[in-house]
Chain A
Amino acid sequence: EADIYQTPRYLVIGTGKKITLECSQTMGHDKMYWYQQDPGMELHLIHYSYGVNSTEKGDLSSESTVSRIRTEHFPLTLESARPSHTSQYLCASSEFQGLYFGPGTRLTVT
C-alpha cells in the first residue's frame, strides 16, 4: 500500500480565498504530481516535480503554484479560489514506473 497523504480530504470555501492543498509521501520518491479530475472525466496534469527545488507546469497550471522544498512535501496553492476550481485534486508520486495516488482533496468553491 502506497504511503501518500492529502489534506484536507474535503474543503468548501468561498470565492476569492487563498487555499493550500497539502500532499506528503513517505516513500522517498523524487517525482511528484498534481492532477485535477472532474467526476467521470479524465485526469489533467496541473504541476509536477522531479525533485527538490524542481517544479514544472502541466496543462492547467496557470491559476495555481507549487513548491518542493522537501522531498516528501508538495503543496499546491490557489491564490484566489473561483467556482471553476471546484473539482477533485489528486496528488501522486513515483520512483521508476507507475504512479501512486493519494486519496484526493474534493474542493468546492462557492
Chain B
Amino acid sequence: RKEVEQDPGPFNVPEGATVAFNCTYSNSASQSFFWYRQDCRKEPKLLMSVYSSGNEDGRFTAQLNRASQYISLLIRDSKLSDSATYLCVVNTLDSNYQLIWGAGTKLIIKP
C-alpha cells in the first residue's frame, strides 16, 4: 500500500460545477499537508497548505480529517483554467521530515 494515495482520475467536470477529491495517507504521524497543482509538462506549484481547522482560498477549500487519515480539496465554480493534475503531499516526522507525494488526480474541466 502506498503511503499517500489518490484517485488518478481523470475527473471530467463541466465548467461551473463543484468538484472534490480526497487523498488518503497511511502514517498517523504525518504532520503537514499540502495540495499542489501541476499543469501538463510544467513544474508543480503550491496551491495551498492544509490546516487542522480547514482553510479556504477563494474557490478552493482544503480539509483535514486526522481520524480517517485523509485530506480533501474542494473546487467551487470550476473554471477551464482549473484543468490540471492535483498532487497531495504529506510531511511525516518518521521519514525525517521528507515530503511524501501522491501520484496526483487529473482534473479536466469541459466547457
Q: Which of B34, B43, B46 is the one whose CB lies under 8 Å from A102? A: B43
Q: How many residues of A contact B (CB 8 A)?
A: 17
- A90 at the A/B interface (Cβ < 8 Å)? yes
Give, as a whole number of angstroms, the nearest-CB distance from A67 to chain B.
20
Q: Which of B43, B45, B46 is the one whose CB lies under 8 Å from A104? A: B43
Q: Which of A41, A42, A43, A101 is the one whose CB lies under 8 Å from B45? A: A101
Q: How many residues of B contact A (CB 8 A)?
A: 17
A97-B49, A98-B49 given as contacts; is B104 within 8 A of A42 (CB)? yes
- B60 at the A/B interface (Cβ < 8 Å)? no
CB neighbors of B among A13-29 (8 A): none
- B98 at the A/B interface (Cβ < 8 Å)? yes
Q: Which of B34, B43, B98 is the one whose CB lies under 8 Å from A101? A: B43
CB neighbors of B among A87-106 (8 A): 88, 90, 97-104
- A45 at the A/B interface (Cβ < 8 Å)? yes
CB-based contact A98/B98 at 8 Å: no
1/0 contact string of A22-57 vs chain B (CB within 8 Å): 000000000000000001011101001000000000
User: What is A's interface to B at a CB cutoff of 8 Å?
Assistant: 39, 41-43, 45, 48, 58, 88, 90, 97-104
